[in-house]
Amino acid sequence: MSVDAELSDFIRRMPKVELHVHLEGAIRAPTLLQLAKRRSVELPAGDVAGIERWLEFRDFDHFLEVYLTISRCLRDPEDFQLITAAFLEEQARQNIRHTEAHFTISTHIANGVNAGEVAEALAETVLDGERNLGVRLRWIPDIVRNVDPSRADQTLEWALSHRDHFVAAIGLSGKESHAAAPFREHFEVAKAEGLHRAVHAGEQSGPATVWEALELCGAERIGHGIRAVDDPDLVDELRRRRIPLEVNPTSNVCLGLVASLAEHPIRVIREEGLSFSINSDDPALFHTSLTRELELVAGELALNRREVASLSTAALDQAFLTPGERDTLAGEFAAWFEKDGLSPDSPSG
Ligand SMILES: [Zn+2]
């Protein structure tokens, strides 16, 4: 079911928070063309329409090829600034006021980038975004399960030494068939040092990976986690501990984890009273955006304006913000919704 024009307009305009999006998977065709030209990387097409078609998800091997080609275009600090600035503009266009973006620094280190310089450059662009566009961005460098564990050391070290460069958390991504156990210590150190933990789990594999994320990684949020609904004890545990799931509907359909949006467990997740947010994951690759994902979910679950607005405020609650930052944004969100006729105690939206 699709939403009506009025609700669609409301979703487009309302202030939002995005908690699960990969910087490298958010690069849009014009930016990639510009970057590839700068770095003399050959792309399979020379125009925006051709690149858009190439970026779009086909299968997992193609997805990896796209990801690695994008990474090959990112050589110097100014390349990272270019894609981050374009990303921030896109977030601003959607009125996404706060974003936490995954970022695979270890791939870029393996490609020979200077990680310290990249951190400095990224911090500059984040500050510009905050000042000029009024949008906030925080980083979640990901440890990748299925690559050489020494790269996890690099990721943790980068995260810890650049906490004052807007790094909010450490993440875990990659193939879930590779256990999280080798990274237990990395997550323990991250926690002891005050970094948050956001772990991809329960996407490609079953509930056991979510238990692992909780028990071995001290996960505070689960990336995807949709398979958690297969285990009632896990559902109880997630609800009891108020651990949110970062749900990415179109990504799940594209990767064939669910046959269609109608079969997506988002309805069960909501009915079970689990905390969750809606996100775009790799918006350029899945040809989507946070706005689009919210529209799809609102249509599927037949949500009204008030219920859609509550998705934004819930995501804000789940964000890795300081209490001061959260209060400021919460105040701004409340004022916006009130102006739109959604006062805190009006009966319906
Ligand atoms: Zn992801």
Active site residue 117: no
Give the pLDDT confidence score for residue 345 in this predicted structure. 53
List the domain boundaries for the chain.
Answer: 5-338
* pLDDT band of 348, cuts 50, 70, 90: very low
Measured distance CA(160)–CA(293) in Å, rounded:
32
Tracing tokens 């068939």 back to the chain, one arrives at 177
How many angstroms does the Cα of residue 172 sit away from the middle of ligand 1? 9
User: Could you read off the pLDDT of 96-151 as tens digits, one per residue?
Assistant: 999 999 999 999 999 999 999 999 999 999 999 999 999 999 999 999 998 888 89
How many angstroms does the Cα of residue 143 sit away from the middle of ligand 1? 12
Q: Which residues lie near ion ligand 1 (Cβ < 5 Å)? A: 281
* pLDDT band of 344, cuts 50, 70, 90: low
Measured distance CA(125)–CA(120) in Å, rounded:
9
150 Cβ neighbours under 8 A, 6+ residues apart: none
How many angstroms does the Cα of residue 263 sit away from the middle of ligand 1? 20
Is the Cβ–Cβ distance between 104 and 25 less than 8 Å? no
Task: Note the helical H segments in 39-149.
Answer: 48-55, 60-72, 77-93, 105-110, 115-128
How many angstroms does the Cα of residue 345 sit away from the middle of ligand 1? 35
Fold of 5-338: TIM Barrel (3.20.20)
* Catalytic hit among 24, 90, 100, 203: 203
Give the pLDDT confidence score for residue 61 in this predicted structure. 86
Average per-residue pLDDT for the chain: 95
User: Could you read off the pLDDT of 172-211 as tens digits, one per residue?
Assistant: 998 899 999 999 999 999 999 999 999 999 999 999 999 9
Q: Which two tokens stand for residue 163?
A: 């906490």
How many angstroms does the Cα of residue 315 sit away from the middle of ligand 1? 16
Tracing tokens 């706060």 back to the chain, one arrives at 98
Q: Catalogue the E-assigned strands of the chain.
A: 16-22, 96-103, 136-144, 169-173, 196-201, 221-224, 245-247, 276-278
Is the Cβ–Cβ distance between 257 and 264 less than 8 Å? no
Measured distance CA(213)–CA(225) in Å, rounded:
10
Mean pLDDT, residues 228-253 taken together: 98
How many angstroms does the Cα of residue 337 sit away from the middle of ligand 1? 29
User: Could you read off the pLDDT of 277-307 as tens digits, one per residue?
Assistant: 999 999 999 999 999 999 999 999 999 999 9
Asked if the model's pLDDT at residue 241 lies above 50, the reply is yes
**Residues of 75-98 as b/e, b for ≥16 C-beta within 10 angstroms?**
bebebbbbbbbbbbebbeebbbbb
How many angstroms does the Cα of residue 348 sit away from the middle of ligand 1? 34
In the sheet that 96-103 helps form, which strands lie side by side, from edge to edge?
16-22, 96-103, 136-144, 169-173, 196-201, 221-224, 245-247, 276-278
Q: ∠ CA 152-156-162 to the nearest 5 degrees?
A: 145
